[in-house]
Every structure is written in structure tokens, then in C-alpha cells.
Structure 1
């Protein structure tokens, strides 16, 4: 058995704004600090070096603990595509790969998001254990992105995210 596997999560979302607005929400730290892996009220760090080979970082502080997400940009096509690595070093040294493809539509923008999720295996896992873990990782990751993408949609379409995390 392999010590890890990769499961793909692909999600599609539509936005009633031009692709440049969605692209900016993915690449401008002042915007992505409001929805990507963090909330404005709990965000400690949001920064990036938007160039191929450049790094990005988000640190969110919740329940007395810092959650750090980092990565490196692999491909950037303005207003059309981002490909970057994703890692949370406090949980694993493995890097996942994320991609965001944006297409102009008559109503605004269609976003196809993909995340190749690394699933670490335990030594004694059976094939069924691995399949169960892959489904759990897929489903819990999808649930998290569902919440994030609701914030992204609200941000790009209204200019703000109503749920700020204050008081939590």
C-alpha cells in the first residue's frame, strides 16, 4: 500500500461580475483575507508575491491557535487562471495543488476550481480504510470551500462579506 494518495475535488461556481473582479479576490491580499482560509476579524497575515515562483501566505487565529496556509504560484494568466501549491505546515509537509480557471459568460464569470488533496495513510489501513479516508477528506474539504465560496461570491458581488467572525 502507498503511504498516501491523492483525491481530486472540482467545484464550479458562477459570479455576476467580470472575471477580473474574481481574479482580484484570489490575488489581492486585502480581499482574500476576507474569505480564503480566514475571516477579516481573525486574519493575522495575508500576503503574496504574485508571480510564477512567488509565495503566498495566510495566517488565521482562532480558538487561541494560529492556522497557517502557504504556497507557491505555478501558473498565472491574468483574469483567466491561477495554479498554486497549498500546504498547512502545522498538519503536514505535503503540498496540494489548486487551480482556478475563470471564463467570461453572458451573466459574468464561471469559475472552475480544482484541489488535488493529499490523503496520508496509516500503516495498517486496508483498501476500504483508504477509500473511506479519501471520501472523508473530499467531503470535508468540499464543505469548507462551500463556505469560503459563499464569502467569495458575496465579496465580489457586493464588495463585502457579511459574516466577519467577530464575536467568535
Structure 2
């Protein structure tokens, strides 16, 4: 379960998950467009385009179409340490000018079992009209819904990795 931080204007989410794959495959799932297209903010069915340059300061851009509406998700790979660590930004330009930060740590727990520690930091602006209590509630709601969304994404990631392993 993620915990929420309400002391500042950022919402921080930390999730951990175990996968029955080697660290190299989990890292590839975060950096290879063939994998990303299947689980990260899109699906093979709804993906219109995906461009990924998984290198230091490289960028990615995903265009997903659902119910006739185009959704763009884009960001930059700020730090890449193959098979161990990824820092990337994520933004949705039609919703906000700001970008959030994703940090992924990958550890081999034992052969064939890899742990992923996922940290997400998002800026949640405080509207003047909100009291401190209302703002804390807004941040908690944002935290809970975003954490739930990432948990669902990671369920899809798990299925994607299982299907890949089954096809070997």
C-alpha cells in the first residue's frame, strides 16, 4: 500500500511488487516500446502511436485513442541504470503543463523473482479557495485514485510479462 504525504504540495506514492521474471525483462518492460505499448498508459488495441528513445535524456510519447479522444502521455528518461534503476518524467500536455516523476528500482530477490519499488511524485497545486483541511482531502483523494490506477497498470504489466514468458 502506498502512503500519502500531505505536508507539502507534492503527493508521493510508493508501491512495491514482485514479478516472476528476471530483472532484465522487467527493465525492458519499462524501456522497450514493444512492451510499453501493451501496458503503460495504453493498450495494443487503443495505441495510435508510440515513440521511445530509452537513453539518458531520451524521450517517449504515447498517443492513445479511446472513444474517439486522443490522449497524449509523454516524458523524458532522466536516469537509466540498466536492469536496476529508472527515473522518468510523465506528463499529459492536454491536462497540465507540469510533469510528475516516476522512479523505478529493480532488485533480483532470488533467481526468477524480481522486486520493483515504484515511487511517484506529483505536484498538486493548492487552490486559494480551499481550506487546509480541504486541500489535504484533495491530496488524499488524488493519492488514492492515482495509486489505484498504477496498481491496475501493474496488473496489466504482470499479464504482459506472463504472456511474454509463456511464448518463449
Find out whether 1:113 has 2:118 as its counterpart.
Answer: yes
Distance across 1 between alignment mates of 2:70 and 2:9: 27
Normalization by structure 2: what TM-score? 0.89
Taking the TM superposition and a 5 Å limit, the aligned residue runs for 1:124-143 are: 124-143=129-148
Give the one of 60, 68, 71 matched to 1:67: 71
Distance across 2 between alignment mates of 1:103 and 1:60: 31
Distance across 2 between alignment mates of 1:22 and 1:92: 29
Which SS does the other structure have where 1:159 is aligned? helix
Give the one of 100, 114, 117 matched to 1:96: 100
Pairwise CA distance, 1:157 = 2.2
Q: How many residues align?
A: 157
RMSD of Structure 2 on Structure 1 (CA)? 1.4
- Contact 1:14–1:110 under 8 Å retained in 2: yes
Which SS does the other structure have where 1:34 is aligned? helix
Give the one of 139, 144, 161 matched to 2:149: 144
Distance across 2 between alignment mates of 1:69 and 1:120: 20
Q: Gaps spanning 5+ residues in structure 1: where? A: 161-168
1:70-89 superposed Cα distances (whole Å, 9 cap, x missing partner)? 11111100010100111101
Give the one of 39, 42, 50 matched to 2:43: 39
Find out whether 1:156 has 2:140 as its counterpart.
Answer: no
Pairwise CA distance, 1:120 = 2.3
Match of 1:54 in 2: 58
